[in-house]
Amino acid sequence: MKYQIVPVTPFQQNCSIIWCEKTKLAAVVDPGGDIQRIQQQLENQGLTIEKILLTHGHIDHVGGAKLLSDAANVPIVGPHKDDEFWLSSLAEQSKHFGFLPVEPFTPDQYLQAGDIVTVGEQSLQVLHCPGHTPGHIVFYSENEKLAWVGDVIFKGSIGRTDFPQSSHKDLIASITQVLWPLGRDVSFIPGHGPISSFGIEREQNPFVADQLFS
């Protein structure tokens, strides 16, 4: 499995293109906007997009999903159904965050913990990690020891929990009880900012380092 990060929107959200090297089939994770830039990178790599994967319902992660889905005639998969209210409020999110108008949409498939998503001949585990939003999910490649974590955790920080239906308690539980057991050697691609690893964050992250809970 290979991937390329494509920063999109004024929020510089880390949209990712993930692909199977054997089949050249790809998934696009969190296409928040700048669809032409994403399409150009798919073309540059000689890839065929087969699905769109969403970690949660915030506009900087989903704002371009319907446009890309319609253009490529591919399904939108994710997030968890508990983020349905975020997807139904995209018009209001557009105005609030200063984005171009985005209409509400319904994914072709909601996901839940334990689901498996395929990309060509590769597979990703689905983990439900509420807190930042109630329906936030994480995609994990066990073979690559790599996770796409959206806005659950960042290098040196964690997701905001001042949104409707956010929960700081749930977020900490998602990180320490769902993500940490995957292993210290797992690297992660956050929704914003640089890549890190769970091991580094367990040592250094001022919000969830192990020493805070000992």
pLDDT of residue 100: 84
Q: What are phi and psi of 145, to 5 degrees?
A: 50, 50
3-state secondary structure of 16: strand
pLDDT of residue 208: 97
Pick the CATH number of 2-212 from 3.30.300.30, 3.30.365.10, 3.40.50.1950, 3.60.15.10: 3.60.15.10
Between the CA of residue 127 and those of 57, 81, 117, 177, what are the distances in Å?
16, 13, 11, 11
pLDDT < 50 stretches in the chain:
none
4-63 pLDDT tens trace: 999 999 999 999 999 999 999 999 999 999 999 999 999 999 999 999 999 999 999 999
Domain regions of the chain by residue span: 2-212
pLDDT of residue 50: 98
Q: Which residue type does 37 have?
A: R
Distance (Å, rounded) from C-alpha 27 to C-alpha 19? 6
